[in-house]
Homo-oligomer: A and B are copies of this chain.
Amino acid sequence: MIQTTVFQLDEYGPWTVTPSPRAEMDLQVLQSRLYADIAAFVGEREGYAFYTRGDNIIGITNGLDSADHERLQASLRNRYPVSVSVGIGSGETPRTAVAAASAELRTAGSAQDETRTDVCRGDTLDKTGTVHVGHFDIESATERFTDRLGAFETYTAIHRWYGTLARHLYQEYDALSFFVGGDNVVAICPDLDEQAYRDVITHVTEIDGIPFRVGVGTGRTAHKAGMAAKHALERGRERNRSVVMTEPTQTANL
């Protein structure tokens, strides 16, 4: 079972243009810092949080209970000009979990409903779940892109590759993939075997023509699974292998 959280800024769209449009860089600074605070809080509890749309942030929150979420919410309310509503949901797959979390928020009201502020809804897992992380990156991305193409072309090429990868993983495997900077994608996955990851790489490479690798890790929290995945990816780079799975025994006492 995986637990996810959707952090949704309350009435944020209207706020950005009231009484008149606010400076774009002020909004970018606000969004980045608010995200950083959520990422730090969730990260310290071994969860993950991803920026996605900035006004909707998706967290993998196994290990965080409702009191943790409410503490974060109260702290943000004390330090920002906007408030944040929280929907928590769990499921057998990352896809069903985030759907449940999203449904909690929708049940509470519209994202632009003036009366829906600072909501915290949904149940957290009683037991420890299990998180599977696939950490993907592009082979020789610096030589292939950064040192060869312009900064914008590199960005759009990697962005396109990420989009193809994310949609495929979501539609075929119920996984949630997030671009985390550079040429790195972190996917929160169900329990997939090595062949599934090989199939993903084959399928996506056929579409975009970009060779890439994945390291896979498993753990009781996103952090533990993610660290195992990073180590696996390092081994893949060293040994020139496109898929490296962490052995369950290696993660047992993480």
Contacts and interface: CB of A to CB of B under 8 A. Distances in A.
A39 interface: yes
A36 interface: yes
Interface string A217-230: 00000010011001
B146 A111 contact: yes
Contacts of A143: 110
B43 A102 contact: no
Interface residues of A, number: 92
A229 to B, nearest CB: 9
A105 to B, nearest CB: 8
A163 B156 contact: yes
A22 interface: yes
A170 B156 contact: yes
Contact of A28 (B31, B148, B160, B180): B180
B24 A226 contact: yes
Nearest 8 CB-CB pairings of A with B:
A25-B43, A54-B181, A21-B230, A26-B78, A102-B150, A32-B36, A52-B155, A6-B151
10 contacts: A21-B231, A23-B43, A24-B186, A25-B40, A25-B44, A28-B51, A30-B79, A56-B146, A105-B151, A110-B143
